[in-house]
Amino acid sequence: MSTAIRVDEQARQSEARTASAPSPARRIEFSTQPERYRHWTLSIDGRIATLAMDVQEDAPLVPGYDLKLNSYDLGVDIELYDAVQRLRFEHPEVAAVVLCSAKPQVFCAGANIRMLAQSSHAHKVNFCKFTNETRNSIEDASAYSGQTYVCAVNGAASGGGYELALACEHIILVDDGSSAVALPELPLLAVLPGTGGLTRLVDKRHVRRDRADFLCTTSEGLRGKRAQEWRLVDEIAPRSRFEETVHARALTFAAQSDRPAAAGGVALTPLARSIEETTLTYDHLTVELDRALRTAAFTLHAPSGDLPPTLEAVHTAGARFWPLALAREFDDAILHLRLNEEEIGTWVFRTRGEAALVEAADRLLVEHADDWLIREIILYLKRTLQRLDVSARSLIALIEPGSCFTGTLLELVLAADRSYMLAGRFAESDLPPATLRLTPLNFGPLPMNNAGTRLTSRFPAQAEHMAELQSYMGRDIDAETADALGLVTFTPDDIDWEDEVRLALEERASFSPDALTGMEASLRFAGQETLQTKIFGRLSAWQNWIFQRPNAVGEDGALTLYGTGKQSRFRKQRV
């Protein structure tokens, strides 16, 4: 390995003394439930659910701005994400979701501009990433869960409001002469749509790029028949027949769904979690923070007891079923660290427990993949791992005796930027040497955002090697074999283990976080492009450039001066 840059120990100790955890008052929480929603109302009528946006102006996530015209901040989107998850798990009877506004003649004005203007750059980027992931989950539900989203645009849908509509499978716009869809970020704010609007226009809705250019450079947007002709919406309806049209379309989509009308849902009960200054503790996951080294050490635990023996028992276990419980905990931990621990730049993964139990859980998922609940659990695991892939953190996996990197948990090794597997045993330990184990979940059900598996992204255009890997499915793979198969990066022995791991973590801490983010994002997604990889790649590029340019956020920038009546003064260089 390359020569590591050592971090001076005294400097580390000094940083450790000055670094501190976010105070509880500033901590962003992602756990909520419908009875606590302030901005959304969820109602269910048979096979159709209605998710109505009614943003309370005086309830921003932090003080300093009013959420007028259904404009939103992260707090609004946290509720939306929770609702999307609950609809999938708690309401198997729901086959179509109408996403609408509860405010008359106003759909959504998009992300709140004053919120963006007062937020740090890091918060803006994390906000945009989370909102896009939430919209991805809406698209995922329409594509794979038989729960189709229909957007009822009853007024102006501007910026992020139109991007929310774009995430739905079908868009209906009220044809009243004034309601319009618009992406006005460029002319009004000198930035761009922050949750994939540009890419969804041309890649998803197949809008001609000259027409998309016109839409994105006019602040008033398009309405009525032209919006439909240009493919910006799917249909229009006069206000007198708008609700009738929306309901009829939702019924049409619901009739095409395979979701069970009479099945009982699974309650997403509150997570058992404790947060201390340097520790997050869940039932199946712990995270230890080292602020001096800027690392978070994840330890994910295998099932601690027998798995449910039947599919009926899985449904009875509900949110306590290990794969679902772990997915929820891991998802929450990722979001917590992203938003609340911005300087923790390296995530280190370990596992503990019986590999056989992890394999048994995987095989249970594969065996009953056609069941609605099992399908949702697999899709949730997929989305959580995809959230990990696009997190701007260095990922390192440590495979030691006592590990259980099997199947679903092996995906952490395959997702890592670098992995270390101990060859042999630790001195004075009676634990057997570490092994890896492949299961069917490594070969398709948990794809990355590029639609390929982490194995195919690791070994692009290597069909023979992929066939060889399949022959190892269900077998223990030791360090020597894992190295030969290309599943791990390094296999140090007990003598070198501690130094190699320490030097790797210290080296990572010494590099520029900005350069690391760019490097990792460029290397993780080998192979084909998809809508999602295009969106995340392009957003990463523009948000980390345009969001920091003087034309947007400088003293005379458009985002800074928005609403003041003052004219922006743009620097005219094209860079």
Query: Domain ends where: 491, 521, 551?
Result: 521
Beta strands 285-290 and 279-281 are: antiparallel
In a domain, 418, yes or no: yes
Rg (CA), the chain: 24
Q: If DSSP states are collapsed to H, E and C, what string results for 360-411? A: HHHHHHHHCCCCHHHHHHHHHHHHHHHHHHCCCCEEEEEECCCCCCECCCHH
Model pLDDT for residues 436-495, shown as the tens digit of each residue: 999 999 999 999 999 999 999 999 999 999 999 999 999 999 999 999 999 999 999 999
The distance between the two most distant Cα atoms of the chain, rounded to a whole number of Å, is 79
Model pLDDT for residues 120-162, shown as the tens digit of each residue: 999 999 999 999 999 999 999 999 999 999 999 999 999 999 9
Query: Domain ends where: 255, 282, 310?
Result: 255
Mean of per-residue pLDDT scores for the chain? 94
pLDDT at 78 over 80: yes
- Cβ contacts of residue 295 below 8 Å, gap of 6+? 289, 344, 345, 346, 347, 348, 505, 509
Based on the fold, state whether residues 335 and 239 are members of the same structural domain. Answer: no
What tokens does 25 get? 């008052």
Based on the fold, state whether residues 281 and 221 are members of the same structural domain. Answer: no
* Residue 358 backbone phi and psi in degrees, to 5: -65, -45
- Cβ contacts of residue 421 below 8 Å, gap of 6+? 399, 434, 436, 479, 482, 483, 488, 490, 491
**Domain range for residue 326?**
274-521
Based on the fold, state whether residues 209 and 292 are members of the same structural domain. Answer: no
Query: Can you tell me the distance from the alpha carbon of 247 to that of 267, in angstroms, rounded to the nearest whole number?
Result: 27
pLDDT at 15 over 80: no
Based on the fold, state whether residues 60 and 188 are members of the same structural domain. Answer: yes
In a domain, 526, yes or no: no
In a domain, 528, yes or no: no
In a domain, 376, yes or no: yes
For 109-147, where are the E strands, in sequence order?
A: none
pLDDT at 16 over 50: no
Based on the fold, state whether residues 234 and 373 are members of the same structural domain. Answer: no
Based on the fold, state whether residues 278 and 131 are members of the same structural domain. Answer: no
The total number of structural domains in the chain stands at 2
pLDDT at 18 over 70: no
Query: Can you tell me the distance from the alpha carbon of 131 to that of 115, in angstroms, rounded to the nearest whole number?
Result: 14
Q: State percent of the chain over pLDDT 90.
A: 91
Q: State percent of the chain over pLDDT 70.
A: 96
Based on the fold, state whether residues 187 and 283 are members of the same structural domain. Answer: no
pTM above 0.75, yes or no: yes
In a domain, 346, yes or no: yes
Based on the fold, state whether residues 366 and 396 are members of the same structural domain. Answer: yes
Model pLDDT for residues 193-246, shown as the tens digit of each residue: 999 999 999 999 999 999 999 999 999 999 999 999 999 999 999 999 999 999
Model pLDDT for residues 97-116, shown as the tens digit of each residue: 999 999 999 999 999 999 99
Of 395, 389, 379, 385, nearest in space to 537 by CA:
389
- What is the pLDDT at residue 428? 87
The one-letter amino acid code at 508 reads R
pLDDT at 191 over 70: yes
- What is the pLDDT at residue 86? 98
Based on the fold, state whether residues 237 and 279 are members of the same structural domain. Answer: no
Model pLDDT for residues 162-176, shown as the tens digit of each residue: 999 999 999 999 999
Band of residue 24 on the pLDDT scale cut at 50, 70, 90:
low
- What is the pLDDT at residue 19? 44
- What is the pLDDT at residue 574? 87
- What is the pLDDT at residue 21? 53
Based on the fold, state whether residues 356 and 486 are members of the same structural domain. Answer: yes
pLDDT at 14 over 70: no
Q: CATH number for the domain including 315?
A: 3.90.226.10
Query: Domain ends where: 226, 255, 284?
Result: 255
Model pLDDT for residues 490-511, shown as the tens digit of each residue: 999 999 999 999 999 999 999 9
Based on the fold, state whether residues 317 and 465 are members of the same structural domain. Answer: yes
In a domain, 397, yes or no: yes
In a domain, 560, yes or no: no
In a domain, 392, yes or no: yes
Q: Which of 328-342, 365-379, 397-411, 544-558 has the lowest mean pLDDT?
A: 544-558
pLDDT at 2 over 60: no
Based on the fold, state whether residues 236 and 320 are members of the same structural domain. Answer: no
